[in-house]
A and B are shown apart, each in its own frame.
Chain A
């Protein structure tokens, strides 16, 4: 198991694996998102309280969930990189970061577009919104730190430390913000009471969840391939790979 796992420390192996995985993830993700979204938009029944605005849930919940999972994935990659000194792990880390940041942005934006008709305001300093915003800052910090380094190996290590500092902080931030919120705001906005969600509403959500997960994985993998090529650009195996494709 370990031997099998550790072979992907080599960029060449990792590149091949990425190619295979991308083919498995990419089209299914698009298909699932298409099915889930159309189902959610057209066929799922209306919410008795929120009418049709609740359909935003079909992109809001998946993106919010994935924004956090992607951060954890990024931190795990950083840990692997720091502990076993894999260069490919840093490449994975920096490939995931922008994808996670986009997911966080989507979660924030769709939340705002949902909040406006429901709560009457685009933005409130609600605990979840605030922690999500801070999550976006953490992502941007990692990306900015990595891109500030000319030596990308060094940048990967530095950004990795920052990602780990962030992941230790996420629970602290989350609870502090939640606590702060209950202290300062009182119970102004109670989460709308959720009746157990009807199955015909739930299915499209689950499909979209899986679709988004595969999408995040696929795009991260694509970006990781780019990263491997960028870092190994002068190696012979890259050259032979790309110039053979030409013939």
Chain B
């Protein structure tokens, strides 16, 4: 453990702003990338299911129509 207290850890020997800025932006960018990728997956899944459901409805409607 290199730091005596939490505040010393946050201060990073006077470089706190830069260190936390760098780590924060990195974390943010990585999270954004992951979130965007998983949202994309969800979106695609939804699209497949919606298409399937719509086709099922269309088939049902066609049957009733007959």
Q: Contact residues of A with B, CB < 8 Å?
A: 37, 41-46, 51-53, 55-56, 59-60, 63, 98-99, 102, 105-106, 109-110, 113-114, 116-117, 215, 219, 222-223, 225-226, 229-230, 233, 238-239, 242-243, 246
Contact = CB atoms under 8 A, between A and B. Distances in A.
Question: Interface on chain B toward A: helix, strand, loop, or mixed SS?
Answer: helix
Interface residues on B, range: 20 to 34
Interface string B15-42: 1001101110110011011100110110
Contacts of A110: 22, 25-26
Question: Interface on chain A toward B: helix, strand, loop, or mixed SS?
Answer: helix
Contacts of A238: 48
B60 interface: no
Contacts of A42: 1-3, 9
Interface of B: 1-3, 9, 12-15, 18-19, 21-23, 25-26, 29-30, 32-34, 37-38, 40-41, 44-45, 47-49, 51-52
Contact of A114 (B12, B18, B34): B18
Contacts of B49: 242-243, 246
Max chain A Cβ within 10 angstroms of own Cβ: one of B12, B13, B18, B29: B18
B18 A56 contact: yes
Contacts of B19: 41, 52-53, 55-56, 113
A51 B14 contact: yes
Nearest to B45: A242
Given A223-B40, A226-B37, A238-B48, A215 B30 contact: yes
